[in-house]
Structure 1
Amino acid sequence: MSIFYFVAFLSIFFALMTIFAKNPVHSVLYLVITFFTFTVHYVLLNAQFLAVVNFIVYMGAIMVLFLFVLMLLNLNKDTEPLKSNLVKFMGVIAGMCVLVTLVGSFRMLETSQPVTLKNPDIGLVGNLGKVLFSEFLLPFEISSILLLTAMVGAVLLAKNDAKKA
């Protein structure tokens, strides 16, 4: 349990650092660390598939893309326009809505016994593969054919556009 509390503290800390960082590149890096702590939470919850997907998709692809976009934007203080009072007012209203939502959710929170799953191996990759290739084999194969068709169509469209140029 102490590992959970330590990782939960790190998640909250780096999420707050994401919000309060002045430099946007540092903010994205803090968000990558926050996603890594979520991956650790998934491993602690015995959901290895979600941990791997979170690690590959969010940390490996989306956040690196955000980082590259921010590095290419050339965000200087001289190029950033001054924010109007309307934008600041809308930010205060959005912050108050989040605060009301948090207060309402904490009021609904009740202390009870921990939830135990009937099948503790439900998040394992092996079990997901067994279900995917037995019960859902036909939808899995149809979706793979659909993705293959979309990929071939995109290549053909790009090839036709290249010939016209």
Structure 2
Amino acid sequence: MNFWYFLTALTLLSALMVVLSKNPIHSVLYLVFTFFCISGHYVLLNAQFLMAVNIVVYAGAIMVLFLFVIMMMDLRKNMPDSKNTLTKLAGAILGGTLLVIMVAATRKMDLSGDATIANYSSQTGMVESLGKILYRDYVLPFELVSVLFFVAMVGAVMLGKREAGERNF
């Protein structure tokens, strides 16, 4: 149990560094480290398949895509000089609202642990049971995430084409 607390603290620290880092490359590297920490949590939850998918898909492919987009854009040209106070105020209000919602949702959770232990079996994190749950109970969110990834990829291609068209080669 002590390793879980250490891994959780490491995950939260690296996720905080993603947000606080001024260099976008460092933010992506902290995000990769965060994904590896989350994979450690999957191992502790006996979900080896999710751990492997998290490392291969997120820490591998998605981070390569993020790095490609960051390298493709000229961030010095697109950086505003400073954020105005309205933008800062809106960010603070939205962040505070999200914090209040998360605290309210956490307070309503049942933390007794009886329900999770009763539903646990040796096949909990394996591919067959995960596939049944994913494609039976969560098919709509699964498809929405795939559409979201597709839209992000098309957006990255459109940004790349627009910038390539602006250059006079």
- Normalising by structure 1, we get a TM-score of 0.68
2:26 corresponding residue in structure 1: 26
Query: Shift of residue 89 of structure 1?
Result: 2.7
1:52 corresponding residue in structure 2: 52
Q: What is the root-mean-square deviation in Å for CA atoms of aligned residues? A: 2.5
- 1-side partners of 2:20 and 2:52: how far apart? 28
2:121 corresponding residue in structure 1: 119
The letter for the 2-side match of 1:43 is: V
Provide the secondary structure at the position in 1 that maps to 2:50: helix
Provide the secondary structure at the position in 2 that maps to 1:112: coil
Following TM superposition, the consecutive aligned residue runs of length 4 or more in structure 1 with deviations greater than 6 angstroms are none
The letter for the 2-side match of 1:2 is: N
- 2-side partners of 1:128 and 1:118: how far apart? 12
Q: Deviations over 1:28-77 (max 9, x none)?
A: 1101100111111111111111111111111110112101211221222x
Query: Shift of residue 25 of structure 1?
Result: 1.0
Query: Shift of residue 98 of structure 1?
Result: 1.2
1:95 corresponding residue in structure 2: 95
| Equivalent residue runs for 1:1-165 within 5 Å | 1-76=1-76, 79-81=78-80, 82-113=82-113, 115-116=116-117, 117-125=119-127, 127=128
The letter for the 1-side match of 2:86 is: L
Percentage of identical aligned residues: 47
2:146 corresponding residue in structure 1: none
2:160 corresponding residue in structure 1: none
Query: Shift of residue 84 of structure 1?
Result: 3.5
Q: Which runs of 5 or more structure 1 residues have no equivalent in the other structure?
A: 132-165
The letter for the 1-side match of 2:121 is: N
Asked if the contact 2:123–2:129 (Cα under 8 Å) also holds between the matched residues in 1, the reply is: no
Query: Shift of residue 24 of structure 1?
Result: 1.1
The letter for the 1-side match of 2:52 is: V
The letter for the 1-side match of 2:66 is: F
The letter for the 1-side match of 2:43 is: V
Asked if the contact 2:32–2:63 (Cα under 8 Å) also holds between the matched residues in 1, the reply is: yes
- Normalising by structure 2, we get a TM-score of 0.67
Query: Shift of residue 79 of structure 1?
Result: 4.4
Tell me the matched-pair count: 130
- 2-side partners of 1:43 and 1:121: how far apart? 14
1:137 corresponding residue in structure 2: none
